[in-house]
Structure 1
Amino acid sequence: MKNFIYNLRTFFEKHGFYVSSRLADKLGMKAKSVRIFFIYISFATFGFGFGLYLTLAFWLKLKDLVYTKRTSVFDL
């Protein structure tokens, strides 16, 4: 059972949109603390925290697409 939970955690850490990691870097916290906050807020608000997480993931992905660094002027 522990192996399954470890594999599940590893999967979500690798493919979890990096919202928690980027937010933790911005706030100067550990990513684990941010993830635990999202988990607690999801239980406390019946899924609002999960919706907030997905909204942040979409927003960060959109921001990355808009603010990509161009190598030259002709890449537009």
Structure 2
Amino acid sequence: MSFITNIRHFFEKHGFEVLQRLSDRLGMRPTNVRLFFIYISFVTVGLWFGVYLTLAFLLRLKDMVYTKRSSVFDL
């Protein structure tokens, strides 16, 4: 086997073991715990993307409102 495959198998074995222990302690099925972590990661990424878009919109709005005009005829 290659070095990369050995690393992958190591992390799969020990990474799944952590969720297995957590699910045993909580009395849940391991697949439900894994799905929860997958879903919560998508939610957190989406939340910060929404915050980013909101701030970008507010900055754009601020630039449109506070544009400096040099004379009355620029209206």
TM range (shorter): 0.3 to 0.5
- Larger Rg, first or second structure (1 or 2): 2
User: Taking CA–CA contacts closer than 8 Å with sequence separation of 6 or more, which of the two structures ends up with the larger relative contact order?
Assistant: 1
Q: TM-score, normalised by structure 2?
A: 0.41
* Structure with the larger helix share: 2
